[in-house]
């Protein structure tokens, strides 16, 4: 696994200062009060953004924004892939497949074809670009990658999640946007999936979809641009879906929450983390990596669960330890992948 963030980072206090300097006169007193409260929450200390500087960021037009998404998504993805391959002792020529997911920008052809050229991959490798899965997209991506890897003993598949959340920035008197602007950051992650007895073993995965609640968390189009939409009831909805996805994996194997020592839970936000904790009975020890990544990076959408898992691995996983990856997002959907250290 490898995780990458852009070099520009900013603390929450300074980010708030930049936002209010530019938008304070457009916000209602209630929105101003909420902005102060959101940016002062101790759960997040800083975030990373794929921008040169705040001044250029605020002056972007839609064309410049998608151009930045394209350039930065390719750059961060390429860095993550090369880092993951190096850690696995592999070269780009050994890659037989790529699966890339994103939800924060749309380009055609997708990011995968740029990576083939950028990294010098074989021209006959299998590539897939996945869109529309939102913050939970890393796990469906991993499922596709696993399927490709199982088609041959020598296959090396790279699973890539990349999001330039700053490419969907909007600011209005809207609670969804105020929360988003205090929560989201940019980043990328890559993982090598292979048929070798080294690393984390992929045991099983599950998903829970609640399509009737799709309006609770999604992007909508307004004036030709993406606007994030988040419901105040989202924590309640997400915890139910997550609990179902987790139960689907644990019950057939006679496992309980306490048997899973390591939990790579997506950093959806402080309220969501706390409601999931209460719903399925997690401990603060099991959530340590999630809270650390939230504090240092915020919510980077789909790559975030890889950041949490990578943090857990760095802290140390013993042989045969169980680990659960959990991510959730648009759909409304929740996904879980049961892993075991080999």
pLDDT score of 55: 81
Q: How many whole angstroms separate alpha carbon 215 and alpha carbon 230? A: 8
Residues 114 and 63 in one domain: yes
Residues 130 and 19 in one domain: yes
Residues 139 and 233 in one domain: no
| pLDDT-above-70 percentage for the chain | 100
Residues 291 and 154 in one domain: no
Residues 257 and 126 in one domain: no
Residues 187 and 225 in one domain: no
Please give the tally of structural domains in the chain.
2
Domain boundary among 194, 214, 246: 194
Residues 175 and 286 in one domain: no
Residues 154 and 215 in one domain: no
Note the helical H segments in the chain: 12-23, 29-39, 54-58, 62-88, 111-119, 138-149, 175-183, 234-250, 270-280, 288-297, 304-315
Residues 72 and 209 in one domain: no
Q: Convert the pLDDT of each residue in 119-160 to its tens digit.
A: 999 999 999 999 999 999 999 999 999 999 998 878 999 999
Domain boundary among 194, 228, 249: 194
Residues 156 and 255 in one domain: no
Give the pLDDT mean for 198-221: 96
Instruction: Give residue 325's domain range.
Output: 200-341
Residues 185 and 260 in one domain: no
- C-alpha dihedral over 165, 167, 168, 172, to 10 degrees? 110
Report the CATH number that the domain containing residue 255 is assigned in CATH: 3.40.47.10
pTM: 0.96
Domain boundary among 194, 228, 257: 194
Residues 294 and 189 in one domain: no
Q: Convert the pLDDT of each residue in 13-57 to its tens digit.
A: 999 999 999 999 999 999 999 999 999 999 999 999 999 888 888
- CB-hemisphere CA count at 13 Å for 233? 7
Q: Convert the pLDDT of each residue in 268-321 to its tens digit.
A: 999 999 999 999 999 999 999 999 999 999 999 999 999 999 999 999 999 999
């Amino acid at each position: 696994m490898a995780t990458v963030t852009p070099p520009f980072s900013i603390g929450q206090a300074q980010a708030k200062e930049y936002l209010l300097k530019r938008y304070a006169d457009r916000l209602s007193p209630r929105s101003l009060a909420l902005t102060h409260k959101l940016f002062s929450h101790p759960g997040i200390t800083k975030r990373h953004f794929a921008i040169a500087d705040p001044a250029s960021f605020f002056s972007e037009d839609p064309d410049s924004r998608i151009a930045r998404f394209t350039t930065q998504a390719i750059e961060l993805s390429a860095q993550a892939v090369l880092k993951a391959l190096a850690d696995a002792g592999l070269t780009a020529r050994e890659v037989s497949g790529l699966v890339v997911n994103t939800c924060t920008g749309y380009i055609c052809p997708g990011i995968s074809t740029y990576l083939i050229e950028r990294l010098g991959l074989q021209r006959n490798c299998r590539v897939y670009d996945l869109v529309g899965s939102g913050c939970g997209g890393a796990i469906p991506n991993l499922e596709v990658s696993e399927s490709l890897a199982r088609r041959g003993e020598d296959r090396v598949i790279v699973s890539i999640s990349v999001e330039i959340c700053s490419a969907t920035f909007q600011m209005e008197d809207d609670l969804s946007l105020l929360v988003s602007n205090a929560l989201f950051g940019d980043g990328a992650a890559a993982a090598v999936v292979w048929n070798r007895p080294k690393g984390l073993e992929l045991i099983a995965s599950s998903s829970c979809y609640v399509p009737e609640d799709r309006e609770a968390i999604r992007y909508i189009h307004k004036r030709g641009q993406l606007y994030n939409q988040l419901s105040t009831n989202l924590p309640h909805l997400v915890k139910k879906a997550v609990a179902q996805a987790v139960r689907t994996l644990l019950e057939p194997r006679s496992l309980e929450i306490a048997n899973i020592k390591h939990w790579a839970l997506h950093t959806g936000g402080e309220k969501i983390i706390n409601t999931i904790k209460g719903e399925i009975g997690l401990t603060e020890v099991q959530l340590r990596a999630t809270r650390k990544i939230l504090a240092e990076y915020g919510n980077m959408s789909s790559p975030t669960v890889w950041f949490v898992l990578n943090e857990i691995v760095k802290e140390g996983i013993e042989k045969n330890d169980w680990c659960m990856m959990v991510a959730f997002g648009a759909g409304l959907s929740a996904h879980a992948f049961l892993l075991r250290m080999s």
